[in-house]
Amino acid sequence: MVLMCGAAAEAAGIDPLPLELRREVMPLPGMCSIVPAGRWDSGIVTGNGVMGASILGQPYEERVILNHERLFRPFLDERPLPPEISGALPEVRRMIREGQGGRALDHWRKVMAENGHPKIVNTPPYHPAYTMEIRRPDAGDVSGYLRTVDFLTGEAVVRFRNRKGAWINRTFVSRADNVIVQLFESTDGGTLTLDLRLVDQWMGLSDDMARISVEHAGEWITARCKYRKTARGYEGATRIACDGGRVEQVDGVTRCVDAQRVLLLTRITDLDDFDRSQIREMRAEIGALSADYGALLARHVELHR
């Protein structure tokens, strides 16, 4: 369990959940924080081994950074193939056992060069797909704040109160259905209005990356991004299930208005050929899933544990 200190909470203008109540909701094994994250590397993280989400936990301008395991910024025009050097391993091991580490390294480099790799190719840096911003109307000071992640279920939860009521945001990444599942609701029956938009991580500043193309249409948000140096790219699709309210497109965002709860189901996929989009297939598969958060979580937990 990890707790941020009271001084940090006070500096952030957040009144954390009292310690005795924290003990009631804190998952074990798990971790918690009593303040929102100010940076990506302080987010609480959940994933299924393919996709992941980092939750910053800001009450009014939440940012959830969405990831996929195969998204790497391309250095080269084409993805390099690894050298075939497994045959050198017995000899390298022998030299190391005999204390000839320098000779082992030289032999390994020689075999690499003979197989078309005269020098080491640096690993391209990993990058996130995009950030999902979830904004809600400011309703004053925040109290009862807590972020948690349950290691047994992979569920990340943000709790807080303001003058309009008590709120809870839940996120997990399903191992059963391969979707990022997010649920926003009130714990005391209030309705909520959320603005949803996707934010490009690279802002079009990299020579290797193009800006993400985002489309808001009905109860879907889709995104596509092509790498400039290769034929590769990636895309994502988010289904919005707005229970008891309505969905609108307003000024480049998707707005859920007066909903009892909002469920988001997102899938991201990498593309070896950007021209062969998977959006239609993703929408069909995500659209066929239940909009019941509890049922989706139960299917996932059975595998996660």
pLDDT at residue 5, rounded to an integer:
42
Smallest CA-to-CA distance from 238 within 187, 198, 290, 189 is with 198
Smallest CA-to-CA distance from 214 within 126, 286, 129 is with 129
Smallest CA-to-CA distance from 301 within 188, 146, 155 is with 155
Tally helices (H) and strands (E) across the chain. Answer: 6, 17
pLDDT at residue 2, rounded to an integer:
43
Give the three-state DSSP class for 55. Answer: strand
pLDDT at residue 95, rounded to an integer:
95
pLDDT at residue 124, rounded to an integer:
73
Helix 89-97 × helix 101-114 angle, to 10°: 170
pTM of the model: 0.84
pLDDT at residue 136, rounded to an integer:
95
Alpha carbons 282 and 176: distance in angstroms, whole number: 15
pLDDT at residue 117, rounded to an integer:
84
CA dist 167 → 11, 146, 233, 234 (Å): 22, 11, 36, 33
Residue 179: other Cβ atoms inside 10 A: 25
Say if strands 44-47 and 61-68 run parallel, antiparallel, or are unpaired.
Answer: unpaired
Alpha carbons 52 and 68: distance in angstroms, whole number: 6
Give the three-state DSSP class for 64. Answer: strand
Beta-ladder partners of 226: 233
Q: Is 121 exposed, middle or buried (0-12, 13-18, 19+ CB in 10 A)?
A: exposed
pLDDT at residue 206, rounded to an integer:
59
- Positions in the chain short of pLDDT 50: 1-11, 204
CA dist 217 → 5, 83, 269 (Å): 43, 45, 20
Say if residue 36 is preceded by a cis peptide, omega within 30 of 0: no
Q: How many residues does the chain have?
A: 305
Return phi, psi of residue 271, to 5°. -125, 120
> Which contiguous run of DSSP H or E holds residue 182?
strand 180-186
Tokens matching residue 279: 């959006």
Smallest CA-to-CA distance from 44 within 1, 8, 13 is with 1
